[in-house]
Amino acid sequence: MYTQGLDALGDESLHLPEEELAELEAHFQAKIDADEKIEPKDWMPAAYRMTLIRQISQHAHSEIVGMLPEGNWISRAPSLKRKCVIIAKVQDEGGHGAYLYSAAETLGISREQMIEQLLTGQAKYSSIFNYPTPSWADIGAIGWLVDGAAIMNQIPLCRCSYGPYARAMVRICKEESFHQRQGFEIMIRLCEGSTAQKRMAQEALDRWWWPSLMMFGPDDANSKHTGQSMRWKIKRFTNDELRQKFVDVTVPQAEFLGLEVPDDALVWNEETEHYNFGPIDWDEFQRVLAGHGPCNQERIRARIDAHESGAWVREAALANAAKQSKNL
């Protein structure tokens, strides 16, 4: 699939003489080392292009699939203000998907191809969205923790070496921090509320804490892509560094809410000035990644249903556009 995109772009670097290729690569790396941005028309190694296509499209798919667990509470939002906030949030995520698809398209793949990859399971999306939202508090917890973790991951991407991705991230990060605050506000309201509301909030934290830590990806020892991505300045921090930062920021917030983080091993370490936390269940991570999380089937089914039942609409739009252009 990816190679199709590359062929279409006429990427012929594979056929170049070795010295010429080495020279291009050296020039490319020098640009990155000098913190200059790589733009769509610039020469780039095929592997850099492929890494970015994989990462940006995965990111876009995550935004789109991420609309579903929260969409689950749009119709039941408990006040009109909250309803407006959650609709606007889910809409923002759709907008993020749209910018990111556009950023990926600058690398020579089409949105249709990317969607095809999502629906056929060839492309992944963030596993976090395979967890369910049984209560309203999950909407708070998602904003607080999931958007919070997303911000940690994404702020460094605003300085990513690939120009269109970096620029998309600047815009996205602004909105994500709104989402995080709105989610935290939902949690505050619940934690100040009735016993039932507090219980709802605690249960949501119990559900989302560990999956949120998994959002940063495998630990550094097992992360395939980290080394090369750091050299290319697609990535600026390792998974474990970002995860630690998230824990350090979030634990005091949980304390402020009066909630208990579901980790017996969690303790402040005076020496390192970081929290120590318990081991992550990587089996669960792999299980969800492999398609066996609580909602994997429902999420992808919902995307397929929307795509299939919208097919006649998209066909009609194309047919009408063709008639219009004939009439011109």
Q: Which of 124, 167, 189, 245 binds other proteins (CB under 8 A)?
A: 189
| Binding segment (CB under 5 A) for Fe ion, from list 51-59, 91-99, 287-295, 307-315 | 91-99
Instruction: Please give the Cα distance from 122 to 272 (Å, whole number).
Output: 41
- Is 67 a residue that touches other proteins (CB under 8 A)? yes
| Binding segment (CB under 8 A) for other proteins, from list 50-58, 186-194, 238-246, 281-289 | 186-194
Q: Which of 34, 311, 325, 326 binds other proteins (CB under 8 A)?
A: 311
- Is 98 a residue that touches other proteins (CB under 8 A)? yes
Instruction: Please give the Cα distance from 166 to 157 (Å, whole number).
Output: 6
Place of tokens 């709802």: 200
Residue 138 contacts which entry, other proteins, Fe ion, none (Cβ below 5-8 A, type-dependent): none
Asked if residues 103 and 168 have their Cβ atoms less than 8 Å apart, the reply is: yes
Neighbours of 243 (CB within 10 A): 24
| Binding segment (CB under 8 A) for other proteins, from list 202-210, 231-239, 269-277, 311-319 | 311-319
- Is 96 a residue that touches Fe ion (CB under 5 A)? yes
Asked if residues 164 and 237 have their Cβ atoms less than 8 Å apart, the reply is: no
Instruction: Please give the Cα distance from 134 to 132 (Å, whole number).
Output: 6
Instruction: Please give the Cα distance from 71 to 299 (Å, whole number).
Output: 11
Q: Which is it for the CA torsion 286, 290, 295, 296, positive or negative?
A: positive
- Is 205 a residue that touches other proteins (CB under 8 A)? no
Q: Which of 15, 17, 273, 312 binds other proteins (CB under 8 A)?
A: 312
What is the per-residue binding string for Fe ion in 168-187, x denoting contact by CB under 5 A?
A: --------x--x--------
Instruction: Please give the Cα distance from 130 to 163 (Å, whole number).
Output: 31
Helix (H) or strand (E) holding 269: strand 267-269
Asked if residues 71 and 52 have their Cβ atoms less than 8 Å apart, the reply is: no
Instruction: Please give the Cα distance from 202 to 87 (Å, whole number).
Output: 24
Q: Rule CB under 8 A: which of 248-277 touch other proteins?
A: none
- Is 101 a residue that touches other proteins (CB under 8 A)? yes
- Is 303 a residue that touches Fe ion (CB under 5 A)? no
Cα dihedral 25→27→28→33 (10° resolution): 120
| Binding segment (CB under 8 A) for other proteins, from list 46-54, 69-77, 172-180, 278-286 | 69-77
- Cβ-based nearer residue to other proteins, 22 or 304: 304
**# of chain residues touching other proteins (CB under 8 A):** 48
Q: Which of 9, 170, 304, 306 binds other proteins (CB under 8 A)?
A: 306
How far lies 248's CA from each of 176, 253, 255, 262, 324, in Å?
Answer: 19, 9, 12, 15, 58
Residue 294 contacts which entry, other proteins, Fe ion, none (Cβ below 5-8 A, type-dependent): none
Q: Counting every residue, how long is the chain?
A: 328
Q: Which of 11, 21, 29, 95 binds other proteins (CB under 8 A)?
A: 95
Q: What is the DSSP letter of 280?
A: P
* Joined tokens for residue 278: 């318990």
CB of 294 to other proteins, least distance (A): 18
Binding site for other proteins (CB under 8 A): 64, 67-68, 71, 74-84, 87-88, 90-91, 94-95, 97-98, 101, 136, 186, 189-190, 193-194, 196-197, 302, 305-306, 309-317, 319-321, 323
